[in-house]
Amino acid sequence: MTSFKNVPEHLRPREKAKRHGLSSLSDVELLALIIRSGSKEADVYHIASSLLNMAQGMAGLPKLTLYQCVQIKGIKEAKALELLAVFEIVKRVLRNEVNEINIVDHPSQLIKWLTSEMMDKSQEHFLVVYLDVQNKIISYKTLFIGTLDRSIIHPREIFKEAVGLSAAKIIAVHNHPSGSLKASPQDIEVTNILVEAGIMMGIPLLDHIIVTNHGYTSLRQKLLVD
């Protein structure tokens, strides 16, 4: 089976979606609808299942690379790029949504966006989110890449950008590719440095967040509790 032709019409993803809505489709069916057809090597459902297995579920799809996608039988470069474009659209929708809200009032939206931005990074990335007085995002920027340490995190670079943007507050974010949500001594040290620098500059650090595929840790909350 290389297409939907051998599937009873009422069970085909397209017909099922038209009758009952896209939400009625399983993860495999939804991906199969996007992929459209299989090949001599693998049918469309097998390709969709292979993608989900490689990504370890829907949440991991945006992490897939072009190289990974074309390793799956039945996916050539053109189809892989189409799939990656869909995944990128999802990330951009989340980014646009979070730009319109007060992120202090909607922290779950912020975390969802940050996870989508950083989940595909194999190295630690240190990103700073710049906010206006209404707690809306003005801009964001990845400033440092590599293991977090005070020797590579320069407050002057962070706050130079903040002053240039007329930011009222900042949020620091970094990922742990290992998946660990535990803050290291270096994480805590960098947070304390940024808190002090923010007070001096009059641009407070609202939080320093560790993001992984499994959740997040608020370092500012940890410091307040400790």
Give the pLDDT confidence score for residue 1 in this predicted structure.
45
Whole-number CA gyration radius for the chain: 21
SS (H, E, C) 9-48: HHHCHHHHHHHHCHHHCCHHHHHHHHHCCCCCCCCHHHHH
Range scoring the smallest mean pLDDT among 11-15, 142-146, 162-166, 214-218: 11-15
Topology (CATH) of 102-225: Cytidine Deaminase; domain 2 (3.40.140)
CATH tag, 9-94: 1.10.150
Mean pLDDT of 28-38: 89
Mean pLDDT of 108-129: 86
Give the pLDDT confidence score for residue 2 in this predicted structure.
45
Q: Domain locations in the chain?
A: 9-94, 102-225
First-to-last CA distance in the chain? 60
Structure-block tokens of residue 8: 């009873």
Predicted TM-score (pTM) of this structure: 0.68
Which one is predicted more confidently, 93 or 160? Answer: 160
